[in-house]
Amino acid sequence: MNELHKETFQNLLEQIRVQVQQLKKQNRDLSKENQRLRLKLNDVHKSQTDIFSSISESERIAMKHHVTGLIEKIDRHLDE
């Protein structure tokens, strides 16, 4: 009986070792993928421009006046 317990224990221990190795490999793979995605995200952030940097100063002022006018209309409507 004792020998059977030993063998069962060894089999279970080997299964645990295999699972740990698989999880370590999966963790390494996920870490590499995470690093790759971080670099890709960094590149995207660098290449993005601010929405307002692509329009001229006069367009910005016009947009600001338009937004201000819309806010005033909303305020008047809410006050009624």
- What is the separation, in whole angstroms, between the first and last Cα of the chain? 89
Token digits of residue 6: 């030993």
Confidence of residue 46 (pLDDT cuts 50, 70, 90): confident
pLDDT of residue 6: 92
| Cα Rg of the chain, angstroms | 31
Question: How many whole angstroms separate alpha carbon 80 and alpha carbon 64?
Answer: 25
Question: How many whole angstroms separate alpha carbon 68 and alpha carbon 62?
Answer: 10
Tell me the per-residue pLDDT of 63-79, one tens digit each, with 9 for 90 and over. Answer: 899 999 999 999 888 88
Alpha-helical regions (H) of the chain: 2-47, 57-79
% of the chain with per-residue pLDDT over 70: 91
The reported pTM is 0.52
% of the chain with per-residue pLDDT over 90: 57
